[in-house]
Structures are given as C-alpha cells and as structure tokens.
Amino acid sequence: MPSAQTAVLSLPRAVGRSVIGSLAHIGRFSLLLAELFRALVEWRIWLPRTMDEARNIGAGSLFIVLLVSAFAGAVTALQTGYQFQGNLPYYVVGTLVVESIVLELGPVLTALVLAGRIGARYAAELGTMRVTEQIDALESLGRSPMSHLIIPRVLAGLVMIPVLTIFANAIGVLAGWWSAKQVLPLSNADFTYGAQFYWRPFDAYYSIIKAFFFAGAITLIPCYMGFNAQQGAEGVGKATTTAVVATSVTILILDTLLAKLLLHP
Amino acid sequence: MIELRNVHKRFGQQVILNGVDFSVEEGETVALLGPSGTGKSVLLKHIIGLIHPDAGTILVDDLNVATLGRKQLAALRSTIGYVFQNGALFDSMNVFENIRLGITDAKDNRNAAYCATRVPECLALVNLAPEVADKFPAELSGGMRKRVGIARAIAGKPKYLLYDEPTSGLDPVNADIIDGLVKHLAQTLGVTSVMVTHDVRGAFRVSDRVALLSDGKIVLQGTPKEFLASADPRIKAFLERDFDSHSFAA
C-alpha cells in the first residue's frame, strides 16, 4: 500500500514529468527549426522535391478543400437568410457570407481539412521512415534529412496552403451567393452591394496571413512528430494521432491570436 | 582504423554498453557476435555517429566521431557504407534511385552518365541483374532487398563497410549467398568490414576476427580459432546455444 508521503509526492512528480516532457519537446522542435534553416543552402536538393510536393498538396487537396468550402458557404447563406428574414435588408446576406468565408471559414476549414489530410500523411510517412531506419540510412549516407524530407514538405505547404485558401474563399462565396438566390428574393446587385459594403482590402490579406501561419502549423508539427516517432507501428500511430490533434488545436489557438493581434491591435 | 575506447551507453535505466573496447584494423573483416538485444546494432551505429556515446571515445581514421562537426561528420560518413538490417531502402524510390543516393560524391551524383554506369556496376557486384534497377523495394524479395542495401552501401566506394545483421530473416541458402558476398566484397574492394551478427557459422566463414558482446562488454576479440578454444563460460554458453539451435534445425 502506498505511504502517505508517496501519495503526496505523486502529483508534483507527475507535474514535473509533464513539464520536463514539454521542455524536451520545445527543445527538440527548436533544434529541428535550426537544422531546417541551416539546410536551406542545399537548394539543389530541396527545390525539385518541393515542386513535386507542391503538386501533390495542390492537386491532391483541391477537391476536398473546395467541397468543404462550398458547403460552408452554402450553409452560411441559408442560415443567414433564415435568421434575418423580415428583419434586415437582404443585402446583409452578401456581407455576412463574404466576411464569414474570407475572414474565418475559408482559412480555418481549409486548415482543419488539410491538418487531417496532409498532417496525418506527413506524420505517418516520416514516422514510418524513422522506424524502418530510412532516415538513419539517409544520415548514414552523409545526407541531410532536412533538405531531403522536411524542407520540401514545409515549403510546399507554405506556398500551396494559402493558394488553396484563396480558391476555398472564392468557391465558398460563390456557393453562398448561389444558395442565397435559391431561397431568398435576392438579386445579384443586392448580393454584390452587401459584399462590398463592409469589405476592406485588408480582409483578403488577413485571410492569406492566417493561411500562411496555419500552413506552418500543418507542416511543421506533423513533420516534427513523424521525425521523432519511436517504437514501431504503435509509435507511428501515436505520432500521427498526436500530430493531427496538436495541429488542429494550434490552428484554433493561432486563429484567436491572429484575430486579436491583426484585427484589434 | 576503427577504435572504440571504454564506450558507455544507456537508454533510460537500461545499460546497453558498459565500457566497450573494440578495434578493427585496416583491411580486416571483424564479426561482432552476441545474442539478440545485447546492443550490437547500437555499437555499430556509434561508429557512424547515428548514436552518440554517454562516455568513451570512438575513433575512425583517428577522428573522434562524437565531436565532429556537421560537415566533417558528413565527409566521414561518405567513407563508410552502412548496410541496415532490413535494407532501409527508400520505398518511394526505385532501386536505381536508391543506389544513386549511395553515390556520396556530389559531382558524381549529379552526373547522369556516371550514375547510369555505376548503378548497374554495383548491382553486378551483388549478383543482381541490371533490370532490377527499375523495380521498387516493395517488389523485391527479402534477400534481394538486402543485396540492394549492400549495393547502395558500396555505391560511394567506401573505405569501411558496416553490416547490421545482413543474414537475419533469410533462409540458409540466401544467408550463405550474403555471407559469400561479404567475403567477396572485402577481397575485391579491399574494404574494412564490421559485421554484426548472431550467426556463428556465417561469422566464422567470413571474418578474420570475431568478437563477442555480452553484458555490455566485449568478452573476447580474436581469430575464430581463439574463439573456439576459449574457456570463457560466456563464450562457451553462446557457442553451445548456437550449435544446439543448428543441430535442432538439422
């Protein structure tokens, strides 16, 4: 039976272990970033791989990103129309659809979808490479895993995820416009009037800035998790799950922080 | 020359290497024997700097591996070919690209004509047909994967070859082929080789000297004859287990 002293010490021990574990993650993540920046000089290696990866992310994710964004736009328009029917002028639907999609739903939903699609893939790929010693093999050949594996994935994400977000915004707005017209006596002129009424060019920049930060989380966190995966298939599974959860939470935290910093400085 | 002096390594509470002294002279082939889980692969990874020791010194060509900078370590690694236990082939690349990655000289690696001749050359050295170059690792048998792993390791014309359990998981016929290959490469390429294995027969056939790793230490390093003649109970126990398993299999 555990003594009273052991029971009293168990909580601080658990907290201590958790703090040390978190600090170790921060340390390893910082080292990965430092290695990544150092390996940027090896552009001959990472450039062609980045192109392949960018094609993979762009073409492979376009359909699901557009699908999600189209439904988000349509539902936003339908619910806005329902809530404001008889209370506010219909052009408000245009305002709400455009602002909701561009400021929030376009970048966040795209990021969450890609966290599952790309993040899980990166963590599983790199985790498998780690446990099957492919990463060790790369190092044993005197080659940098950063320039061969990490930089192409991160750069491709940083370029392609904002591009996908722009497409998602456009399709979301168009789907909302079309849906609103199906259920409300709303003309094209009403919708565009509402869309432009509260529109600020910064809204578009804000959307892309968010997408860029989300891209950092979607690529770096899963790459880090996969790169440090251990203990066989179980380790790869754990790395993949942790990567998706951690990336999704980071996206939501970044979303709030960026809203505070950029919209209410 | 490869030399390990008083190398210690532990993972958590588990002591893996507890003061290992081990050396390999130029041009010789040394087999590192020991039961599974005794840290043979860990020792091998120390030599190429994939794992750093907690204490002790690892010297390759008089360079202290643990203290080398990034570029120096990469340069040293380009002189060492490492054959991984399960091949560790890059599954997204075909055999040609896998072996090409083993050409560690940057200029040669970028030279398409050189690679087009060097890759089939390496495949021939490991008794594989040039057509194998177009296949992906998933399309190869276990024995072929090991041989492609060896072909990748020799592609950069290394001075040292480190084999991590090259015959594990293979049937006796394929294991004999790989053993023959290790010996053939040592003779034709003149490389210094270290082979980690728990196959005593293969080790005796291939190596100039054998060493036994037990309880985190090298128990004995000597010729196969000295090994067989040793009165050390740990060596006797290891040999008896091995011969028992062979007679049981027979």
Nearest CA to CA, how far is B75 from chain A (Å)?
7
Q: Would you kindly state where each structural domain of chain B is located, as residue ranges?
A: 1-79+192-250
Question: Which residues of B are less than 8 Å from A124 in CB distance?
Answer: none
CATH architecture, domain B1-79+192-250: 3-Layer(aba) Sandwich (3.40)
Residue A77 structure tokens: 């328009």
Tell me the backbone φ, ψ of residue B154, rounded to 5 degrees. Answer: -95, -5
Q: How many CB atoms lie within 10 A of CB A110?
A: 33
Residue B250: predicted pLDDT? 39
* pLDDT(B67) > 80: yes
Q: A22: how many CB neighbours lie within 10 A of its CB?
A: 10
Question: What confidence score (pLDDT) does residue A2 get?
Answer: 57
pLDDT at B214: 87
Mutate to test the interface with A, among B77, B160, B165 (most CBs of A within 10 A): B77
C-alpha closest to that of B98 among B75, B118, B127: B118
Given a contact cutoff of 8 angstroms between Cβ atoms, the answer to whether B23 and B3 are in contact is: yes
Structure tokens given for A71: 């439904």
Q: Each residue of B184-235: pLDDT tens digit?
A: 888 888 899 999 988 888 888 889 999 999 888 998 888 988 888 888 888 8
Contact at CB, A141 and B91, closer than 8 angstroms: no
Q: Which residue of B has its CA nearest to A35?
A: B70
Distance from CA of A119 to the nearest CA of B (A): 18
- The full set of domain ranges for chain A reads 1-41, 45-263
User: What stretches of chain B adopt beta strand conformation (E)?
Assistant: 2-11, 14-24, 29-33, 55-60, 63-64, 80-83, 160-164, 192-197, 209-214, 217-222
Helix (H, G, I), strand (E, B) or coil at B5: strand
Q: What is the pLDDT of residues A77-133, one digit of tens each?
A: 999 888 887 778 888 889 999 999 999 999 999 999 999 999 999 999 999 999 999
Quick: pLDDT tens for A179-196: 999 988 888 998 999 999
In chain B, residues 47-66 whose CB comes closer than 8 Å to chain A: 48, 50
Supply A42's token pair: 């090896």
Cα B113 versus chain centre, distance: 29
Q: What span, in angstroms and rounded, lies between the C-alpha atoms of A63 and A79?
A: 24
Distance CA B220, CA B239 (A): 13
Beta-strand relationship, B55-60 and B192-197: unpaired
What pLDDT does B247 receive? 45
Q: Which residues pair with B57 in a beta bridge?
A: B5
Distance from CA of A45 to the nearest CA of B (A): 11
Measure the CA–CA gap between A106 and A100, rounded to whole angstroms.
8
Closest residue in A to B90 (Cα–Cα): A134
Contact B77 A139 (CB under 8 A): yes
Lowest mean pLDDT among A87-91, B24-28, B60-64: A87-91
What do you get for the CA distance between the two ends of chain B, in Å?
A: 39
Host H or E run for residue B235: helix B233-249
**CA atoms of A208 and A103, how far apart (whole Å):** 9
For residue B90, list chain A residues with Cβ-Cβ distance below 8 A: 129, 134, 137-138
Work out the mean pLDDT of chain B and round it to a whole number: 88
Phi-psi region of B36 (alpha: psi -120 to 50; beta: other; left: phi over 0): beta
Residue type, A141: L
User: A interface toward B at CB cutoff 8 Å?
Assistant: 38, 44, 129, 132-134, 136-144
First to last CA, chain A: 56
Distance of CA A257 to the CA centre of its chain: 15
Report the sign of the C-alpha dihedral through residues A214, A220, A223, A226, in that order: negative
The verdict on a CB contact (< 8 Å) between A136 and B84 is yes
Q: Which residues of B218-246 are buried (b: 16+ CB within 10 A; e: fewer)?
A: bbbbeebeebeebeeeebeebbeebeeee
* Residue B210, helix vs strand vs coil: strand
Cβ contact (<8 Å) for A142 and B77?
A: yes
Residue A231's pLDDT is 78
Most confident of B42-51, B177-186, B194-203: B42-51
The residues, ordered by sequence, that sit 6+ positions from B241 with a Cβ below 8 Å of its Cβ are: B35
8 A C-beta contact, residue B56 and residue B20: yes
Report residue B243's pLDDT band, with 50, 70 and 90 as the boundaries: low
In chain A, residues with a C-beta closer than 8 Å to the C-beta of B146 are: none
Helix (H, G, I), strand (E, B) or coil at B75: helix
pLDDT in single tens digits along all 265 residues of chain A: 557 777 777 888 888 888 998 899 899 999 999 999 999 999 999 999 999 999 999 999 999 999 999 999 999 999 988 888 777 888 888 999 999 999 999 999 999 999 999 999 999 999 999 999 999 999 999 889 999 999 999 999 999 999 999 999 999 999 999 999 998 888 899 899 999 988 999 999 999 999 999 999 999 999 999 999 987 888 999 999 999 999 999 999 999 999 999 998 8
Chain A residue with CA closest to B75: the answer is: A142
Which residues does residue B244 pair with via DSSP β-bridges, in sequence order? none
A255-A195-A161-A63 Cα dihedral, nearest 10 degrees: 120
Q: Please, what's the b/e burial string for B53-80 (b: 16 or more CB within 10 A of its CB; e: otherwise)?
A: beebebbbeeeebbebeeeebbebbbbb
Q: Answer yes or no: do A136 and B45 touch at CB < 8 A.
A: yes
- Rounded to two decimals, the ipTM of the complex is 0.86
